[in-house]
Structure 1
Amino acid sequence: MLIYGWRSYEVVLDFLFTVIFVLGVYYLIRYRLNLNKAVQLSKNALYPSKEDEFNSIILPVEWREMEPLSKNTKSYQYVKWGTVVAIILSTILLWIVLVTDLLEYSFFSVAYIFFAIINAVRHRGNLFILPNGLIFNGRYYSSNQIKGYEAEKIIRWHELYGLNSKGNNAYKLTLNIKNKRYTPNFIVIKDHDSLGQILDLLNMQGISGITKVEQPFSSVGNLTNKS
């Protein structure tokens, strides 16, 4: 009975990890497809469309200016080939799990390695305002998927202040997206005028929010301004 129970335990662990593997591969493929769709849609972006507009958007992880989204960029190529490598490595890991007893002794360690492989495939990030929706971090969202936004100035005592000189006295724009619980869900806008253009375009789509800046924008009727 003890041996039978142990074997059942092995089968359950193998099955559980196989399910996790399938979901992980599905996530990678879907992420790649979403990025491909974003590349096509970004050609119709209302903002940014010019070099100075791209430079006005700062990616908070690397603190670098945003670049156009195309299949020729290093970030896209990283996702393209990174997806292939991640699936191969994940398949090898699954094979090791199924033919050895590794999972029985260190399930959480193996799971951690698997999730680390999956999470390594990431695009640098971006924000494109479209006529009917937006692209955020390589994925398209329709207007009705955006619950709202919050804009606040990055001044002294703000959580982002001091992390990088590009962020100091800039603006943090947080997007509240339905069914999106992962971070980061914000981007940094360099100056007040650029932020105003972005918020005006969002408001035109019926996306409203809260601003915590020193003066109101043109779409004051749709905003709640706080000092």
Structure 2
Amino acid sequence: MITLASDFGSPYPASMKGVVRRETDAEIIDLTHDLPRGDPRAAAFWLRFLVPEFPPAVHCAVVDPGVGTDRAAIAVQAGSHVLVAPDNGLAIPPARALTAADGVEADGSTGADDRSTPQAYRIAVDDPASATFHGRDVFAPAAATIREALGRVDALGDPAATADVLGSLPSLTRTDAVVELTLPEPDVERTGTAAADDGDAEATGDVTAVDGTVLVVDDFGNA
């Protein structure tokens, strides 16, 4: 399975699907192509919410205000999943959410949580046909290549086997130098405190105040 997400609207995602289909027969699912335009942080919020609902897959996400610059293209392993995205922080929050959901590090060891650092790979990029459509020319082909390689050895769903496949692809180079993006968490005040299992104080009771940052507002008015 390959999922596609972008801020492209329509009809540009059809070109990405055509590129993917030329390389693999894997199922293609559109997550959304209405991510907040040009806003990787807000887009990462939605991806962190959406991608853990899926079985092991390759997720191709493109919100790329740096298209046409020297920003890198990366693939990020997150447990049994792989995210393909521009290196602008977009992939990191959803990758951490997926790693925590699997509870498995890239090497197959257990104990991963939402603070674990996913393993990233830089994608080798030939001169793209367009300076403004890397979704079609860079990210869709990379996602298809990775999904096809995983499928050949039945590695999807196996974090250790996925790591082996990613490490063997000549178009990928392992890297620890990626753009980090951390989503803000709200500060919630409650009426009382109690001892948590680890001995620290834990807020309990009714919520009295919430201090946070509004990243997105959905179609129902939820922030």
State TM-score, norm by structure 1.
Answer: 0.23
Structure richer in strand, relative to its length: 2
Structure richer in helix, relative to its length: 1
